[in-house]
Every structure is written in C-alpha cells, then in structure tokens.
Amino acid sequence: MPSKSKIKAQIDAFLIEVGDLSYFTARFFREVFKRPFELKELLNQCYNVGNKSLLLVGITGFIIGLVLTLQTRPTLIEFGAISWMPSMVSISIVREIGPILTALVCAGRIGSGIGAEIGSMKVTEQIDAMEVSGTNPFKYLVVTRVLSVTLMLPLLVIIGDAIALFGSFLVEHVKGNVSFVLFFNQVFDALEFGDIMPATIKTFFFGLAIGLVGCYKGYYCKKGTEGVGKAANSAVVFASLLLFIIDFIAVFVTDIFFDL
C-alpha cells in the first residue's frame, strides 16, 4: 500500500495542476480579447481541427449508429416496440452518445496533437525565440488553437450525429424495410428543443476543455523528447476526465432547468 506521505504528495500535485490550469484558463480569457487578432492562424487551425478530424468522426458516428441499432433491435422486438426504434436512437445519439463519444475521439486526436506540437516547440526553444522576436506566443499558439477547437467541435458533433442516424437508418432499412422518409420523420418528431439545445451548448465547453488542456500540457512541457510524449499522453487523459465532469454538470443543470 502507498504510504500516507506518497498519497499526500499525489493530492498536492493534483491540486497544483488544477490551480495552474485555472491560471492558464484565466490568462486565455484575458488574451482572447486583446489585439492583434491572429485571424489567419485561427482559420488555419480551424482547418486542421475540423477537416482533418472529419473522417475519423464520420467513421465513429457511422459505427455508433450501426451498433446501437443492432444491439437494441432484438430487445425492442421482444417487447413489440420496434416502431420506437427511430425515436429511441435519435434521442440517445443527440442527447448523449454523439456528443460525448465525438468529444472523446477528438480529445485523443486533437488534444494529443496540440500537446505534442506545442511541447516540441517548447523543447526546441521555438517559443522562446518567438518571445525574443516580439511575437506573443501565447496569443499565436494557444488562443488560436483553443478557439479553433471550441468552434469546430460542435460542427463535428452535428456531422457525427447525422452520420450515426444514417447508419441506424441503414440497419432499419435492411432488416425492417423502413423508408428514408418514414425513419427521419419519426426522428425529427421525437426530438425537441430540450434535446438539441443543451446537447449543442455543452459541445462548446467540451471543445474549450480539450483545447485548454492540450495547450496547457504542451506549453509547460518539460525538457526532452520524453517530456513531449508525456505532454501528449497526459493531455488525452486529463481532457477525457474533464469531459466526463463537464458532461455530468451539463446533464445535472439541464435536468434542473427543464424541470422548473
């Protein structure tokens, strides 16, 4: 068993990490409204985050739709409720499964990429060179990447949800001979404002968390190639944990708000 001193050291290290990340987040919100605005770099990062993640998100969403429908269909048939399949799948995917799984995929692909990229720049002293040349590295590297992930993740989630629903339709069309129009009429009839809006809003916070954690881990990366690897790995782990916490808070707040 680990000693009490070791447990205390781990708790202290975790609390210090949370405090440093909080300070890093506050610095981001201070810098984001200051000039100059790096629009060209922001657009470049939006392309890197959005376009280069689209294939992975699409494949993930398609498989989610197929698996969820195939796994649920026998149970609904047993209870004679197979006609509820489009409604059940649409609410499940749009409310929870689509946003959280897409965010986790992006945490692995985007969070680790940002952590490794900025970490390698830190190790090779490129960030120090930017400061010497008069460029604000925090503004150029951190603000643009965090904003790009925050803006692109909701779009990726919407695309992933649409592809997941299409995958579900294919299963229903093959096994139940359900038409495209009938399936998606039931999908849109089942969805309400309380399903779509909270799920969309929380994806902005998912993107913000992924971008901040990835940039933080890379920006304060330790020297050496080992430090770059640790920055990329810890960015994924910490961002994934943060996603579940944000998701719980979002669901809790939404439940209270719509019960009033």
First to last CA, the chain: 48
Task: Give 3-state DSSP helix, strand, coil % of the chain, rounded to 5.
Answer: 90, 0, 10
Q: Would residue 226 count as lying in a domain? A: yes
pLDDT single digits (tens) 161-201: 999 999 999 999 888 888 899 999 999 998 888 788 889 99
Q: How confident is the model at residue 259 (pLDDT cuts 50, 70, 90)?
A: low
Q: pLDDT value at position 115?
A: 87
Angle between helices 180-190 and 144-176 (to 10 degrees): 130
Considering the entire predicted model, what is its pTM? 0.89
Q: How confident is the model at residue 157 (pLDDT cuts 50, 70, 90)?
A: very high
Q: pLDDT value at position 168?
A: 92
The 8-class DSSP code of residue 222 comes to P
Q: How far is CA 248 from CA 148, 211, 244, 245, in A?
A: 24, 19, 6, 5
Q: Would residue 13 count as lying in a domain? A: no
99 is written with which tokens? 């946003």
Q: pLDDT value at position 258?
A: 64
Q: Would residue 150 count as lying in a domain? A: yes
The 8-class DSSP code of residue 221 comes to P
Q: pLDDT value at position 2?
A: 59
Q: pLDDT value at position 245?
A: 93
Q: pLDDT value at position 208?
A: 94
Residue 146 Cα to chain centre, angstroms: 12
Q: pLDDT value at position 152?
A: 93
Q: pLDDT value at position 167?
A: 93
Q: What is the mean pLDDT of residues 63-80?
A: 89
pLDDT single digits (tens) 8-66: 888 887 788 888 888 988 988 988 888 878 888 889 989 988 888 899 999 999 999 99
Domain holding 68, by residue range, is 38-259
Q: Would residue 120 count as lying in a domain? A: yes
Q: Would residue 32 count as lying in a domain? A: no
Q: Would residue 252 count as lying in a domain? A: yes
pLDDT single digits (tens) 83-131: 888 889 999 999 889 999 999 999 988 888 888 888 888 888 888 788 7
Q: Would residue 2 count as lying in a domain? A: no
Report the domain count for the chain: 1
Q: Would residue 4 count as lying in a domain? A: no
